[in-house]
């Protein structure tokens, strides 16, 4: 990996997320959102269930499956969907 390469969560990729005090979460990354005044990631857990995880509570994120296909355009705002 080059020093200039920017790593980011990719929509459609599957991640495992461990938080400070919550349950471990495994799901497909759908995007970002604001949860009150704090940024959060949104994971689809299965059967349409969405989990919003505040970024400040995340301890570990593991990439499980990389999404293949068209790369999304960069979005400057926090978004979901």
Domain that holds residue 18: 14-65
Query: Tens of pLDDT along 14-33?
Result: 999 999 998 999 999 999 99
In a domain, 48, yes or no: yes
Residue 75 in any domain: the answer is: no
Tell me if 79 is assigned to some domain.
Answer: no
CATH number at residue 60: 2.40.10
Q: Report if residue 59 sits inside a domain.
A: yes
24 lies in some domain: yes
The whole-angstrom separation of Cα 10 and Cα 30 is 8
- Given a contact cutoff of 8 angstroms between Cβ atoms, the answer to whether 11 and 67 are in contact is yes
pLDDT, residue 22, reads: 87
Overall domain count for the chain: 1
Q: What is the DSSP letter of 80?
A: B
pLDDT tier, 4 (very low <50, low <70, confident <90, very high otherwise): low
Going edge to edge, which strands form the sheet with 38-46? Answer: 49-54, 38-46, 25-35, 14-19, 58-65
Q: What's the pTM value of the predicted model, to 2 decimals?
A: 0.78
């Amino acid at each position: 990996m080059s020093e200039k390469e920017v790593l980011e969560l990719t929509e459609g990729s599957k991640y495992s997320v461990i938080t400070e005090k919550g349950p471990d979460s495994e799901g497909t990354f759908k995007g970002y959102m604001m949860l009150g005044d704090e940024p959060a990631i949104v994971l689809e857990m299965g059967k349409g269930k969405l989990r919003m995880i505040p970024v400040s509570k995340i301890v570990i994120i593991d990439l499980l499956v990389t999404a293949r296909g068209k790369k999304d355009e960069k979005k400057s705002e926090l978004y979901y969907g």
